[in-house]
Amino acid sequence: MRLTKTFSEQQFAQALESWAWLEPSGRKPLFTSLFGDVFLAGPDGCWYLDTIEGTLTRPWASADELERDLSTEEGENRYLLAGLAEAAEGRGLVLGPDQVYALLPPPVLGGRATAEAVSVEDFAVALNMLGQIHEQVRNLPPGARITGVELA
């Protein structure tokens, strides 16, 4: 099972539009996990946009480090959610060329990261939706009750 996907520049631009608050601009999208987490290259190393946590971090100083990390079982499970992707595929969920897996409801809104919560969604729509949700809830105190979100 291939655990990564690539998309067009236009698809990446649409998908990352709602993540501007994390300042991913200036970094070039390389590929995604099957769940739409984006791996980006910048002048200072390789970055990881975690759509479940709503974070942008720089775990790798170089593309070689990124490649080495993702070639390990630990890296596949941590960054590519290999086990969850395999479970989704085992449930018969097949991705089209413009699609990724999504956890619905998203964990940030109380959903769970289980195979039963996985659905197939359009990449740009799913990522844009998650960016909007994370932006709206990012400053809430831990345990705050979320009564609704607005999506554009």
Coil, strand or helix at 63: helix
What's the rounded Cα separation, in Å, for the pair 31 and 12? 9
What's the rounded Cα separation, in Å, for the pair 2 and 106? 23
Provide the pairing of β-strand 28-33 with 38-42. antiparallel
Cβ neighbours of residue 102 under 8 Å, at least 6 residues apart?
A: 35, 36, 118, 119, 120, 121, 126, 130
Res 151: pLDDT: 75
Identify whether 111 is part of a domain: yes
Cβ neighbours of residue 2 under 8 Å, at least 6 residues apart?
A: none
pLDDT-based confidence at 87, cuts 50/70/90? very high
Contact 85, 1 (CB under 8 A): yes
Q: What is the largest CA-CA distance in the chain?
A: 43
Count how many domains the chain has.
1
* pTM of this structure: 0.93
Identify whether 146 is part of a domain: no
Identify whether 151 is part of a domain: no
Q: Is the pLDDT of residue 147 over 80?
A: no
Residue span of the structural domain in which 63 resides:
4-137
Q: What is the pLDDT of residues 3-29, one digit of tens each?
A: 999 999 999 999 999 999 998 888 999
Res 29: pLDDT: 97
Identify whether 69 is part of a domain: yes
CA atoms within 13 A on the CB side of 20: 4
